[in-house]
Amino acid sequence: MKLKRSHILDQRGLDFLWPAFLLATVLLLLSSCVQYEPVPAYVPAASTFDRAWSAALGAAQDEGVRITAEDRTNGVIRGSRGEQEVTINVRTQADGNVRVEFTARGPKGPDTGLAGRISRAYDRRMGR
């Protein structure tokens, strides 16, 4: 009889342990759930043309050129500094590169000094 009684106690002990075991298992499974990090959003960089256009416009203004016309569609910026007329052409070439040309013309002809200063200011703005 003693054997039966200990068997009953053992069974009752297991009945009390079963919910605790089930709770521990559920908590263990829930704590091991994977939480993924958010995916960083892709922010496209400015196009090469946009970057060149902004740098050319800023370079002209850096050298004191007053912008009189901007035609982004045709890639032409016009301005003046004193009696000198400045024209900047920004063109996308077939290979995807952007070509920028600076010309400065005054009453006495081309002014390569002003065009060169604008070109150097452009290079600085482009990080060259």
- pLDDT tens column, 35-85: 677 777 776 666 899 999 999 999 999 999 999 999 999 999 999 998 899
Torsion on CA atoms 58, 59, 60, 65, rounded to nearest 10: 90
Q: What's the predicted TM-score (pTM) here?
A: 0.63
Tell which residue, 64, 51, 56, 52, has the closest CA to residue 120. Answer: 56
- pLDDT tens column, 3-46: 555 555 555 556 666 677 778 777 777 666 666 777 777 766 66
CA 101 – CA 119 distance, rounded (Å): 8
Q: Label residue 82 left, alpha or beta by phi (over 0 means left) and psi (-120 to 50 means alpha).
A: left
CB-based burial of residue 26 (10 Å sphere; 0-12 exposed, 13-18 middle, 19+ buried)? exposed
Which strand ranges, in their side-by-side order, compose the sheet holding 98-106? 66-71, 76-81, 84-92, 98-106, 109-110
